[in-house]
Amino acid sequence: MKVYISATLRGFFGRNSFVEVSGDDIKSILNFLTDEYPDSKKVIFNADGGLNSFIRLYVGDEDRSEPDQWYRKLKPDDEVLLLPSIAGGAPSDNLIPDERRKEVGLDDQEVERFGKHLLLREIGVKGQKRIKASRVVVMGAGALGSPVIQYLAAAGVGTIKVVDDNDVSLEDLQSQVIHSARDVKRPRVASARDTVRNTNRNINFESENERINADNIVSMIDGYDLVIDCTGDHRSRYLINDACALLGIPLVFGAIYQYEGRVGIFNLNGGPCLRCLFPEPPEPGLVPTCAEGGTISPLPGIIGSIAANEALKLIIGIGEHLDGRLLTIDSLYLGSRIVKVKKDRKCPICGADPSIFRVEDFDYEEFCHLKTAEDEIPVEGFTPEELARRIEDKDPMTIIDVREPHERSIMRFPDAIVIPIGQLARRKDELDPDKDTVFVCREGKRSILAINTLREAGYNGPMYNLKGGIEAMKDIMFSHEGAWL
């Protein structure tokens, strides 16, 4: 039978989107996969032999991640899906109370502007007034946030708050269609504001050019009807999820990577939250982000449009939606599936006996493995300038490139030895413990994981990380060539 591999895991499975396996239950399939692809063992299993908590395993749309489900017999036509964190039913009611809907009206210009909505029986005047009365927070004005913000504005959402602390860069323009070339180096929220105003000046646009944290997240979203998560890191995703769950605000979740995207709805009417699906995030660098792995330009538009559509259906109170379900779309092979998300009674935020009552009391840096433990040896590193100086001086050292093949084809690192992270432990004998070994990746995160992986494998030679990765070093000039990358 076929086991379908999510895009974020394919690097551990020979870049395959699916693997033909022999086995009649989950346990035999997992054994087959890890025997055939030894590098996958670390990403699939935890130290106790169970699935890592950032991995879910589905047969059809049924979650069979728990070990007591691994010995149930499978049918020959069953489809098995390995789903890592990146990152339904009919609504019983709309999110906008009738009292608030009755407080707003539609003028002649708005009747003309939203005429195509008014023609739809499910929307009509009442539905459009609910849209106008709604207050929505969009977390992130990047690739996913771009279409979400634009479609919410075009639909006439009355108040749109956008939260993002980044500036527009040239590489953003490939997929962040809300920005233009003239916006480069401007705050994303300022660029988004101008685009929204050009679409509909009647919209109340609010912006926060600030990084979210446990101290400000609640005040940013409290009092709003809906939050749409368009961020790109696990720390933000869990922080947003937890704040929404504690405040009782529904959350529309979107995530993209390369050619694959996901959309789901959490925290709606006592439904499951993100922690119910993925109790913990992966270790930094283990599962690549879209910034590291790339994304085809139209994918954020596809996923962002679906997320905006789900948001509008919740606001109006129509149709079926993705509460308790997760939609995954593979734009490369034109495949899609919807899997069920069960509410976890042991969930610390929305379960029967919760342990998280305030986001301020929870350490998201530690939870997302962004802190150095007291007994953990800190990872030392070189700045781009320091490494460049050592290269110029021809200091004896070994440079290991842990990036994906497509990344190296775009931007090479001269004289580097290529060893994927999953192969480091079994190839540690190729390193010289009497020489400094410097690990490089795109942004300096996977290289830290590489060093810790080798430490666990017992390698004791001196190891260093390139701080900021190759991105921070790409403008370094060398005396013997005009540009080195």
Task: State yes or no: is 230 an active-site residue.
Answer: no
SS (H, E, C) 375-398: CCCCCCEECHHHHHHHHHCCCCEE
Q: What are 68's two structure tokens?
A: 């007591």
Whether residue 273 lies in the annotated active site: no
Question: Cβ distance 346 to 362 under 8 Å?
Answer: no
**Phi, psi (deg, nearest 5) at residue 27:** -60, -45
Spot the catalytic one: 230, 347, 368, 441: 441
Rounded to the nearest 10 degrees, the angle between the axes of helix 145-155 and helix 188-199 is 30
Inter-residue contact 402 to 432 (CB < 8 Å): no
Starting at the earlier edge strand, list the strands of the sheet with 463-466. 381-382, 463-466, 436-440, 397-401, 417-418
Q: Which of 273, 290, 347, 350 is catalytic?
A: 290
CB atoms within 10 A of CB 348: 16
Identify the residue whose tokens are 């734009």.
331
Place of tokens 């009092």: 223
CB 188 within 8 A of CB 167: yes
* Residues forming the active site: 290, 441
